A and B are shown apart, each in its own frame.
Chain A
Amino acid sequence: MITITVGLGTCGIAAGAQAVYDELLRQIDPQHIQLRKTSCNGHCYQEPIVEVFQDSKLKGVFYQVKPVDVATLLRTLLATKPSSSSRLGQEQRVVLENCGLIDPESISEYIDRGGYIALEKARTLSPMDVVTMIKESGLRGRGGAGFSTGLKWQFALNNPSSPKVVIANADEGDPGAFMDRAVLEGDPHRVIEGLLIAAHATGATSAYIYIRAEYPLAIKRLRHAIAEVSAAGKLGNVSLEIKEGAGAFVCGEETALMASMEGERGMPRFKPPFPAQSGLWGQPTTINNVETLAAIPWIVRHGAEAFSKLGTEKSRGTKVFSLAGKVKYPGLVEVEMGTSLRTMIEQLGGGTSSGSPIKAVQMGGPSGGCVPESLLDTALTYEDLQATGAIMGSGGVIVMDQATCMIDIAKYFLNFIQNESCGKCTFCRIGTKRMFEILTRITQGKGDLSDIDELLDLSTQISKASLCQLGKTAANPVLTTLQYFKEEYLEHIVEKKCRAHVCKALIRYNIKSELCTGCTLCAKRCPVSCIQGAPKGCHIIDESCCTKCGVCLSVCRFGAVTVSTGVVS
């Protein structure tokens, strides 16, 4: 029997996988070939991906398949050699072990791969034994803070009041992070199993999955999975419900998340009381990130020791990172903690997409920072990353090459933070806005040297006077870029120069008359139609309406389009 699988995650669908699936469905003979859906296996750069199995053995993988390729694909089906992906061999998959292999809408496929064995095993153990096991595994929260998961559970277990609540935090808000989406779309039962084990270990009878509304496919697959697990009678005495977020980054913070579930504005509250003492509607509450929960079934199945063998002394196990930005092979990778940042980006990610050297790597989203190329040998552990000024965060990794402006990036994050500040603390609400304004001024060539001291001063004050981590870490993108890329700040301020050719106010596009052949290509491709010129005549850019998008530069085959920056002498 031949089986063909198509990866239908959000990324696969956006790359055209649904059309490939439909075409396969139209052309195959169902008597001989079985067509299956699966989700993303993390190799997003190769989507749409079609895999061929004969008697459950992988016979071939087809990358970047288009509907027109389907006929050829079916003809040569078994003639191809299995092209094993070099990347998978270097990964250590715990959380992602099923992603891209099983049909996320089939509980039986999950069970066939060992699903729900951990739940059954956990339920034969006492809650304290489960808590001890998770503590011994060394698992730390994968949402960012890195707190011991077992200890968190113990706090809730020790609280005598009831009823208790467990919540899966699927409000993956960090721009640049998408591992939770991939797990929810590709292996939703794993998260549910982890959550049900958490409920058993803490004594909770209500379980919720709080998920952001921007993930419609993940929500759909979770609903399907909940219906399946409920029909299979595996919920026990636990009620399980999905709560959809309404679009607020700060709701990833646990006290804001609870406020949102209670029907209020998602504003963080003062801790203590911690959620384990008094959480949702005053009940003892345990909140874990999706990736944390997804690691739980593996730990219970294989034992605490198997997990704690992976990684380093303080950072045990594996971590999923989402590689994106200017990296050659974007997607998800799961590696043992302690692997170096350089290995991950250069070997698994293939280096930069442009081939130009790496300038920096942004880790940990808006609370994180930019690690310069010189520190790429840093090990991926909570402590080592923190020492650079960045953080592990949820695992978003954005690779930046020479064409990325570090002040522009700092401005981007401050804009994000000042938009998403809930407004409760004055220093965060107003301070981040002032920082954004200063950075905007600098990128416009209107900066002053005193702006740098002003930024440092505001950073200290906002960090000291904010209640939650959003405010406390708001200045990190500015602090790390100032620490490692101060000369770029000075260039913007003093020389009015943006070396990356990004800051629009500091760059000018020009067409060199001696090189322009009048081929009209730039004028045709200009999205704002601001290039004038007759065929075979020299073309001119009308600067008054030029948006400096760079399309003309990228399409010109004669090197006639140039970009300049800095004070014209």
Chain B
Amino acid sequence: MTPSWSNLATELLQRFGDETRYAIPILQAIQTEQGYIPIPLLEAIASKAHHLQANQLYGVATFYSQFTFTPKGVHTIKVCMGTACFVKGAEHIVDAFKSALSIEVGETTVDGSFTLQTVACLGCCSLAPAVMIDGHVFGQVTPERVKELLKTKGFGL
């Protein structure tokens, strides 16, 4: 165990509390702050906690799609696969991203700049097909617009 994981584990337990109900908030904080869930950190938390076990934390982390065990790229692309987006050709948008980035869904580019994901529904069905890049939603995306989107700097509007 690296000392930093140990310190972080102590800090997280102090911040949230040593109870089962805090498993998800703790994992959410780790995912946001570290960009992924480091297994050694889960083990460090379990070794210090009374009510949180490593297997339980791991079980929760593998259940919910928000958590990943590998570091994400600098930018995360989420292609919406909701029904509205699907009937308006979301699969073609995914294909265009895969081809432009030379990665599969769930993977990160070699240079660590982009992670490609699909999500169930962003709730922007009236703008279908929709893509979320770093929290910004882009609507009415076409396969042709994909390359242009990847060149956008900062992804603000």
Contacts and interface: CB of A to CB of B under 8 A. Distances in A.
A121 interface: no
Contact of B139 (A15, A260, A263, A322): A15
B28 A246 contact: yes
Contact of A264 (B20, B28, B89, B138): B20
Nearest to B84: A324
B126 A330 contact: yes
B75 interface: no
Contacts of B128: 324-325, 330
B103 to A, nearest CB: 14
A421 to B, nearest CB: 12
Given A330-B84, A400-B87, A527-B143, A19 B63 contact: no
B83 A362 contact: yes
Nearest to B93: A549
A216 B134 CA distance: 12
Contacts of B147: 527
B127 to A, nearest CB: 6
B112 interface: no
A178 B63 contact: no
A412 B89 CA distance: 12
* Most chain B beta carbons < 10 A, residue from A15, A177, A330, A527: A527
A323 B139 CA distance: 16
B54 interface: no
Interface string A302-337: 000000000000000000001111100011000000
B36 interface: no
B89 A549 contact: yes
B69 to A, nearest CB: 14
A47 B23 CA distance: 40
B70 interface: no
A45 B120 contact: no
A416 B120 contact: yes
Nearest to B21: A263
B20 A178 contact: no
A181 B82 CA distance: 15
Contacts of A178: 121, 123-126
A247 interface: yes
Interface string A242-267: 00111111000000000011111110
A172 interface: yes
Interface string B37-74: 00000000000000000001001100111110000000
Contacts of A264: 20, 23, 56, 60
B2 to A, nearest CB: 26
B121 A214 contact: yes
B146 A527 contact: yes
B96 interface: yes
Interface in A387-415: 396, 398, 400, 404, 409, 412-413
Interface string A1-25: 0000000001101111011000000
Contacts of B24: 244, 246, 260, 263
B111 interface: no
Given A44-B127, A175-B83, A265-B60, A326 B120 contact: no
B84 A262 contact: no
B27 interface: yes
A365 interface: yes
Contacts of A174: 121
A215 interface: yes
A57 B4 CA distance: 61
A452 B84 CA distance: 26
A228 B79 CA distance: 35
Contacts of B123: 10, 172, 177-178, 181, 214-215
Contacts of B88: 325-326
Contacts of A246: 24, 27-28, 64-67
Given A264-B20, A398-B87, 7 more contacts: A176-B125, A264-B56, A323-B126, A325-B83, A326-B88, A396-B83, A527-B92
8 closest pairs, A vs B, by CB? A44-B126, A324-B125, A324-B84, A246-B64, A330-B126, A247-B65, A175-B82, A263-B23
Interface of B: 19-25, 27-28, 56, 59-60, 63-67, 81-84, 86-89, 92, 95-96, 99-100, 119-128, 130, 135-139, 142-144, 146-147, 157
